[in-house]
Structure formats: C-alpha cells, structure tokens
Structure 1
C-alpha cells in the first residue's frame, strides 16, 4: 500500500445524513436544516463490513452534521467491531455535555470544522452563534479525553484571515488542520493535508 494523504490507511468516508444545523457557504453536499436525507443503519453497517473485507481500516464520518444522525454511535460501533479506527467531522455546535459520553470509546479523533478567525468563521457558517457556541462546547470534549483537532477549509474569504495553525486560539500546544481548496461552483473540492503544531 502506498503512502498518501491518509498515511498508509485506507479510509471509508461516509456521509450518513445531509441534515445539518447550518447552511455553510462552502458546503459541497448542499446540506442544511431543510434537508432530511439519511442512509439507513443496515445499509451503512453492510458497507462497513464489506469495506473491512476489502482492506479498509478506517471509517471517516461527516455529512451533513453527523451528530444529527441518531444511529451514529451504532455506526461507529460497527466499525469498531471490524477493527477499524474512526473519525467524526462536526461543526461542534451540538457537542453538549452528554455527546462526548456517547462517543467515548467509539471515536479515535473528533475533527471540528473551523474557518479562520471568529469573524470569517461566522461569515462562512451564516450563523452569528457558530463560533462562540462551538468554542464553548469544546470544554466538554476536553474533559472527555477524546482526541480532537480542527479541519480548516481554505476559501477566498479565509485564506488570509488567520496566521499559523487555525486552531491555535482554541487548542494551544497541539492540533492539526486540513486545508481544502474551495470550488465556488460547489463541486467536491480537492484536498491537501497539512499538519501543524499550535
């Protein structure tokens, strides 16, 4: 197996729902509060088992907002049963105190979406509460012991809005980010991974 953006891991990426609590400017899956499309758990479980049989050893869950998908813990448990590592990408706004407890032992890394400064983040998320609420929710994640970091989407609005690692304010001393080239037409972006110390 060749070394790539995900290291030597083969990652099964799933979007179990397009439902989301936000309508972000840069969302290429056209997810949002008024979209209610989800995949049934049996279908997702079958995909996980089949992928594991083909050599996939990691499951990445995004969306939509995965925390709005009730079967998320069961999906992660199915991946664990197959010996897979797991990641969940979230906007962080729904990480109430009970959420980390539901995910503990099921997720290896929680990736929180972050778009530069608080101002650029709010602009991209189209929600004035998006940055402050996400920042406040991180305390419960820290206390849970779940490893977490930040996913940074590079856009024409955020490319010059922050210096250094985008998560430096929220997680001093450690972290990662992934820069994604944004397509203004909404087509799936090309990804490039950059890890940095904050």
Structure 2
C-alpha cells in the first residue's frame, strides 16, 4: 500500500521542543489553498494511497473537512495525525462523520510529568481527553517516539495504549 503523509499546515497550537515540522502558530504563506488542496487530492486518487494528514496541527486548518470529504469521495483512505489537544466531543463526531479511518495521537510518556516536558503544561491531559472523545467514534492509535529522556516509558506507554483502547501503538 502506498502511504502519503502530507503536512497540510505549519500552524500548531503547541510549541514542541523537537518539532520536525518546524510548526508555528500561523499557517505558512505557501500552503495550498482549498482548491489547490482538492486538486492535489484528485491527482493522487488514481494511486489509491492511504493519505495521512498531519502538520503542524491539521485540526487548525479551516478547510480540513472539505479536503477530507473530497479524498474520501474518491476512495482514498484518510488518517489524521494530531497532538489530540483540540479534539472535543463535537470535533470527534465531525472527524468520524467525515470518513477519517484513524486518528494518531502522539504521546511522549505515559503521564503528564514526561509528556508535558516537551509539549507544554497540560498537553497530556488535553491529549488523553481528546483520545477519550474519539473512543467509540473512530479508531485511534498512539505514536510514541523513543528518546533518551523517555525510553524507560516503553512498557508504561504500551500499558496506557491498551488501557485507552488504542487500535495500535506505533513506536
């Protein structure tokens, strides 16, 4: 299966210490507009990929759901990669209704003490609340990047993923 990971926006509500996407609080001026984004989706549809929409934080993009709906209407399997902090009950319903097949939430530790070190105070609580809001509506997975600081968390993050009902744990 072909997988396309698209950093849909640079905008993000967090300022993670190690962000590989160089995210900022504002979208990048060179991001595709809605029509361009839909044309991009149409151009990849013949490849029958799985499309992972990430960022930054893709949930900050105002036209996210029209882009998702266009991709799904073309038979593309769509996943979201999110920090989870913005996922309210209402947004979880909207995600499920749009046809997203899975949401990945990044956690850097099995508790706030470890996770919040790199992502900001309160981000663990917000992310796990986002996960709770997704539960029963759309599959979710937990992404965990192993670092020197959190390598001792591996067993605990596995246990947390099971407890939360994650469909997968990607390390």
TM-score by length of 1: 0.77
In structure 1, what is the equivalent of residue 118 of structure 2?
124
| Aligned residue in 1 for 2:102 | 109
Where 1:61 maps in the other structure, the secondary structure is strand
Contact 1:12-1:56 within 8 A present in 2 as well: no
Give the aligned partner of residue 48 of structure 2.
56
Q: Residue 140 of structure 2 aligns to a residue in which SS?
A: strand
Task: Give the RMSD, CA atoms, in angstroms.
Answer: 1.8
User: In the alignment, which residue of structure 2 is the partner of 1:168?
Assistant: 159
Unmatched 5+ residue regions in structure 2?
Answer: none
Partner of 1:158: 150
Q: Distance in 1 between matches of 2:110 and 2:53?
A: 25
Structure 1 residue 98 displacement after superposition? 1.1
TM-score, reference length from structure 2: 0.88
Cα distance per residue 1:126-158 (max 9 Å; x no partner)? x11000121223222114x21111111122222
Q: What SS does structure 2 have at the residue aligned with 1:148?
A: strand
> Matches of 1:159 and 1:10 in 2, distance apart?
30
Show the counterpart of 1:17: 9
CA distance in 1, matches of 2:34, 2:4: 15
Q: Where in structure 1 are there 5+ consecutive unaligned residues? A: 1-8, 180-198
Distance of 2:154 and 2:135 partners within structure 1: 23
Alignment length (residue pairs): 166
Larger helix proportion, structure 1 or 2?
2
Residue 111 of structure 1 contacts residue 151 of structure 1 at CA under 8 Å; is this kept in 2?
yes
Q: Does 1:36 align with 2:24?
A: no
What displacement does 1:174 show? 4.7
Of the candidates 123, 136, 139, which is equivalent to residue 129 of structure 2? 136
